[in-house]
């Protein structure tokens, strides 16, 4: 059957917050060190110690917000170890991630510089699990206070006269697990205590994000909204797509067949149900949707690349990951009335990375290309859509064959992102567009497109073949009498722009 896509006229429903296209970078494996930070004396071209090639690639995809320093690392991190002259910064052991030595050379000043260089807003996650209230309070004060205080004076001694803006702050990470193994009831009280001391200085307004549920822990959401909902701006949600029988037996990133393809896409589609069910609980306490659901860790998690440190979570990234990215971003777009930030895990060299590095070389992954294609949705108005499509069947199991979302940007261009999940069937799309008030005279006049696809499902880029899979112009769409039709190849992510 032909897939029918009906786009509604009601463009005022919700804005797709650009922060849905956010990223996450943790002191884990080679994300920060090697991936971002090479130090000022490196032979790899850098600006103040930050790789130029990586910064340039990140600027291109317009990363709106960057979360740091963890993850599980955040609840072991003591920010004062990461300021001042490098030779005086104490070393620590990164117990969570490989037991390696952390020399603290990448700290607050370096993170803020990174954000400036790539044009992202900072989202810092504080230490509630093993840190004090005073420590958390003073971190925000160190960064944002323009007056005289012991910590703001230390900032000046460290070479930064003006305070920075710090728009987003997380009050702990996964406090149901690595962040202290707390019960929801206990964390809710701790959240209230710590959040009390996160102050707004000068014109800086901190948007406070509470640790939210692990996957389908609906009890956590209920308790947090009931006990602390009025003291937070956002509640986080973590959900990873983990193919394989269990955490101990995860599937490979590259070596998989159609079962691994199907299983991964099925698991990733669970994100929709999670968002709907957590949102329904939030609606009972916050019908006006003041509190955002912040999906600040999401993405694929496979077995590590053979021969690499198991604590470094380094994995390849294939066309399958491009589909995972496209599907999740469509889900976030379509639920943007509640989901107002998401941060893929993680930006470089860890889990579903957009960039991989090896010495002075970089590779842009298929996931990078999806973020590049979808950036047109950032801050655009969501267009509601109704989709009727075939089932994608494998054995007895089925999934919808198509995932889609649509928005209209400030210039009146309509962008439609479409994923064809099937590993073998193309999909015919029919989309009546005449009468849509976003077009002059209610009639669209042109369509252009970009597609990411490949002949094999595990197509990926390597350091010796970095452009094996990359977007190309899409010529399979046409417009006639206000009707958009397209043929989407199997295993593809497509972005159509209609004006």
| Sites of contact with ligand AHR (CB under 6 A) | 26, 70-72, 173-174, 297, 345-346, 351
Measured from the CB atom, the residue of 142 and 298 that comes closer to ligand AHR is 298
The closest residue (CB) to ligand AHR is 71
Angle in degrees, CA 294, 274, 229, rounded to 5? 45
Euclidean distance between CA atoms 33 and 106, whole angstroms:
8
Nearest distance from C-beta of residue 79 to ligand AHR, angstroms? 17
Which one of 110, 174, 190, 263 is the catalytic residue?
A: 174
Measured from the CB atom, the residue of 223 and 347 that comes closer to ligand AHR is 347
Nearest distance from C-beta of residue 384 to ligand AHR, angstroms? 33
Cβ–Cβ contacts within 10 Å for residue 396, how many? Answer: 5
For residue 16, what are the CA distances in angstroms to 54, 113, 449? 26, 27, 21
Is residue 329 within 8 Å of residue 377, measured between CB atoms? yes
Radius of gyration for the alpha carbons in the chain, expressed in angstroms and rounded: 23
Measured from the CB atom, the residue of 172 and 229 that comes closer to ligand AHR is 172
Place of tokens 């230390």: 154
Measured from the CB atom, the residue of 72 and 406 that comes closer to ligand AHR is 72
Nearest distance from C-beta of residue 131 to ligand AHR, angstroms? 16
Is 391 labeled as catalytic in the residue annotation? no
Euclidean distance between CA atoms 24 and 67, whole angstroms:
5
Q: Where are the beta strands (DSSP E) in 359-457?
A: 361-364, 381-383, 385-388, 391-394, 397-400, 402-408, 414-420, 427-432, 447-453
Measured from the CB atom, the residue of 22 and 70 that comes closer to ligand AHR is 70
Is residue 284 within 8 Å of residue 330, measured between CB atoms? no
For residue 413, what are the CA distances in angstroms to 50, 408, 409, 416, 496? 36, 5, 5, 10, 10
What is the Cβ-side half-sphere exposure of residue 37, based on CA atoms within 13 angstroms? 24
Is 174 labeled as catalytic in the residue annotation? yes
Measured from the CB atom, the residue of 190 and 409 that comes closer to ligand AHR is 190
Instruction: Tell me the two tokens of residue 251.
Output: 């599937």
Is residue 66 within 8 Å of residue 347, measured between CB atoms? yes
Nearest distance from C-beta of residue 346 to ligand AHR, angstroms? 6
Nearest distance from C-beta of residue 127 to ligand AHR, angstroms? 13
Nearest distance from C-beta of residue 478 to ligand AHR, angstroms? 43
Nearest distance from C-beta of residue 26 to ligand AHR, angstroms? 5
Measured from the CB atom, the residue of 339 and 345 that comes closer to ligand AHR is 345
The residues carrying an active-site annotation are 174, 297
């Amino acid at each position: 059957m032909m897939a029918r896509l009906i786009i509604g006229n009601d463009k005022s429903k919700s804005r797709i917050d650009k922060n849905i296209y956010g990223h996450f970078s943790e002191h884990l494996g080679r994300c920060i060190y090697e991936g971002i930070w090479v130090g000022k004396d490196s032979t790899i071209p850098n600006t103040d110690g930050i790789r130029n090639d990586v910064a340039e690639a990140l600027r291109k995809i317009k990363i709106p917000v960057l979360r740091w320093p963890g993850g599980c690392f955040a609840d072991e991190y003591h920010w004062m170890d990461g300021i001042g002259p490098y030779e005086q910064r104490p070393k620590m052991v990164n117990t969570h991630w490989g037991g390696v030595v952390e020399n603290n050379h990448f700290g607050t000043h370096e993170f803020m510089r990174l954000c400036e260089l790539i044009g992202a807003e900072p989202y810092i996650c504080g230490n509630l699990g093993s840190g004090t209230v005073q420590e958390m309070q003073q971190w925000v004060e160190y960064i944002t206070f323009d007056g005289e205080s012991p910590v703001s004076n230390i900032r000046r001694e460290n070479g930064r006269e003006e305070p920075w803006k710090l728009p987003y702050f997380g009050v702990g990470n996964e406090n149901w697990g690595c962040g202290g193994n707390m019960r929801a009831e206990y964390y809710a009280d701790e959240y209230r205590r710590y959040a009390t001391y996160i102050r707004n200085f000068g014109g800086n307004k901190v948007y406070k994000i509470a640790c939210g549920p692990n996957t389908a822990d609906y009890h956590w959401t209920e308790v947090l909204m009931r006990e602390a909902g009025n003291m937070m701006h956002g509640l986080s949600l973590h959900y990873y797509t983990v193919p394989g029988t269990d955490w101990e037996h995860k599937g490979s990133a590259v070596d998989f067949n159609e079962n691994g393809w199907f299983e991964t896409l099925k698991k990733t589609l669970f994100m929709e149900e999670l968002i709907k069910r957590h949102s329904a609980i939030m609606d009972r306490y916050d019908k006006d949707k003041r509190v955002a659901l912040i999906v600040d860790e999401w993405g694929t998690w496979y077995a590590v690349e053979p021969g690499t440190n198991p604590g470094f979570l380094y994995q390849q990234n294939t066309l399958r990951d491009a589909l995972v990215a496209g599907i999740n971003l469509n889900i976030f777009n379509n639920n943007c009335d509640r989901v107002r930030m998401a941060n893929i895990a993680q930006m470089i060299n860890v889990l579903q990375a957009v960039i991989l590095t090896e010495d002075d070389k970089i590779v842009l992954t298929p996931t990078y290309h999806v973020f590049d294609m979808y950036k047109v949705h950032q801050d655009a108005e969501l267009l509601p859509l109704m989709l009727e499509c075939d089932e994608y069947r494998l054995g007895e199991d089925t999934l919808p064959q198509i995932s889609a979302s649509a928005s209209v940007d400030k210039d009146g261009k309509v962008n439609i992102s479409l994923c064809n999940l099937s590993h073998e069937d193309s999909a015919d799309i029919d989309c009546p567009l005449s009468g849509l008030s976003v077009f002059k005279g209610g009639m669209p006049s042109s369509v252009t497109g970009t597609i990411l696809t490949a002949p094999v499902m595990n197509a990926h880029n390597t350091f010796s073949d970095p452009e094996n899979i990359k977007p190309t112009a899409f010529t399979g769409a046409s417009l006639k009498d206000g009707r958009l039709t397209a043929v989407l190849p199997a295993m593809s992510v497509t972005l159509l722009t209609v004006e």
